[in-house]
Amino acid sequence: MKNTHLLTLTVVAGSLLTLTARAGILGSPHDFHSRAWNNDPANPATVCAVCHTPHHADPNTGPLWGHTAISASGWQMYANGASPGANIKYTPASAPTGSSLACLSCHDGSIAVNAYGSVASSEYITNGAAISENSKNLTHSHPISFNYQSIVGTGPGQDKWIYDSANPVLAPDANSPGFTPGNDMSIRGFLLNQQGNLECNSCHDVHNQEGSPYNIVNNPHLVKINGTAGGVGSLLCRSCHNK
């Protein structure tokens, strides 16, 4: 009897997880399934295909990446050309690394959102969401693509005003699905990638599964931690910055 209940519970929990995963991206700004250019616009199951492919994937850009990728040459990174703060310590990479290139494949604005598979390119990001301004220019954006922990400390080339990556992040409230007991809620575990680098997905969740769920009013920018409900503002920023 007990065992049967356990089994039922597991099955229910399993299907809930699947539902949450789908509900996360469906209805969010990255849900393109109903666009006329999609091969099968009536079918929500096609939601992943704009970015991922199970076979013949591009191994250099993102996991099972199926979208046309932006090249890694010719980038201007933060502090290369803008007006950096006098105390900035990180050394800019020559180009975005990790999955940031995947984001910028659409968010530079120069490659079409629907540049994948056999779909003809027709839709481009033309507004402020073109983060690198159609010209591989990241000088106006928060630094990305560097190892976080290597600049934590008081030594030369280190910044004493950022927290150790083992420190926990500031959680806004218990409504955020990523903030569950048992998950690694350190800066390293929640905000940095496997290599310990800071990338676009340190602050955003393209699938909005972790941290604050997508809500067009409270969390329009898909940030992993927002300051609504119980939290005070800027929790995302203050998770890393001792300010």
User: What is the binding site for ligand HEC (CB under 6 A)?
Assistant: 22, 25, 29-30, 47-48, 50-52, 62-63, 67, 84-85, 87-90, 99-100, 102-107, 113, 125, 127-129, 131, 141-144, 148, 151, 159, 162, 187, 191, 198, 200-204, 206-207, 220-223, 236-237, 239-241
Give whichever of 7 and 81 is closer to ligand HEC, judged by the CB atom: 81
d(CA 226, CA 194): 23
Contact 67/106 with Cβ under 8 angstroms? yes
Give whichever of 5 and 56 is closer to ligand HEC, judged by the CB atom: 56
Tokens of 32: 């393109």
Q: How far is the CB of 187 from ligand HEC (least distance, A)?
A: 6
Q: How far is the CB of 63 from ligand HEC (least distance, A)?
A: 4
Contact 109/126 with Cβ under 8 angstroms? yes
Give whichever of 8 and 221 is closer to ligand HEC, judged by the CB atom: 221
Q: How far is the CB of 5 from ligand HEC (least distance, A)?
A: 30
Distance of CA 96 to the CA centre of its chain: 13
d(CA 48, CA 57): 13
Q: How far is the CB of 9 from ligand HEC (least distance, A)?
A: 24
Contact 222/157 with Cβ under 8 angstroms? no
**Angular region, 119: left φ>0, alpha ψ -120 to 50, beta rest:** beta
Give whichever of 17 and 174 is closer to ligand HEC, judged by the CB atom: 17
Give whichever of 125 and 173 is closer to ligand HEC, judged by the CB atom: 125
Nearby residues of 31 by Cβ (< 8 Å), 6 or more positions away: 25, 47
Q: How far is the CB of 14 from ligand HEC (least distance, A)?
A: 15
d(CA 140, CA 184): 31
Give whichever of 7 and 74 is closer to ligand HEC, judged by the CB atom: 74
d(CA 238, CA 235): 5
Q: How far is the CB of 41 from ligand HEC (least distance, A)?
A: 14
